[in-house]
Amino acid sequence: MKILVMGPPGAGKGSQASRIIEKYEMPSISTGQMFRDAYNAEEPIGIEAMKFIRDGNLVSDDITNKIVRLRLHKEDTTTSFLLDGYPRTVAQAAALDEMLVEMESNLDAVINILSSHDVLFERMEQRRVCKKCGRTYHLRFKKPSVDGVCDKCDGELYQREDDSHESVKRRLEIYETKTKPLLDYYSEKGILYHVNGMQDFDKVTDDIFLVLDELV
């Protein structure tokens, strides 16, 4: 099963993706995490990508398509994968279609997590991420057992630069103009499924599993 998780910034895509890959035992392809890993390793592609991310902008299609193509050609993506954070534009979606044709494959489902802007601002400004393993927390709804420390690996928690108020505002504006049109793109393909992301976190997970269980 090959799926894409969509939704505005702060909708909980990453957290829900973690549960999906655990249940269905599939590799995760998160462009955001790949860019951060490349940046921390001081790789040129990561340094270039971070210039876009810090300003709340989308990383250029050329850079993003390149890193996704490299990841898709690894052996563990042959039968299943979950895409998180890509594609974010119709042009990227078209590039992904070309990659999948090369692999003689296709997407089985696109899960779109819905949420209001007020909720998204609150979520992102209080989001904290583990520097070591990338696990996500929330200062109100998903607190770590020990302040500032990851429950999973004891890594240090931090606020991402792109979770500042101005960056969040910019990211939501970009989502509305560039990413939202993808909903029509995938709706026309008949593989788009909407899930209410403003419910309890576990209920959102249950609703996603209801969709995916029908596709397994």
Active-site position among 2, 71, 128, 171: 171
Gap between the Cα atoms of 11 and 6, Å rounded:
9
Query: Which residue is catalytic, options 71, 127, 128, 135?
Result: 127
d(CA 39, CA 45): 7
Q: Hey, how many other C-beta atoms are within 10 angstroms of the C-beta on 130?
A: 20
Residues paired with 111 in a beta bridge: 5, 193
Is-catalytic flag, 152? Answer: no
Choose the catalytic residue: 19, 23, 142, 160: 160
Question: Could you tell me if 207 and 114 are in contact, meaning their C-beta atoms sit under 8 angstroms apart?
Answer: no
Catalytic member of 2, 13, 123, 128:
13
Q: Which tokens go with 192? A: 């788009």
Active site residue 88: yes
Is 54 in the active site? no
Catalytic residue, from 36, 71, 88, 123: name it.
Answer: 88
- Known catalytic residue at 171: yes
Enzyme catalytic residues: 13, 88, 127, 160, 171
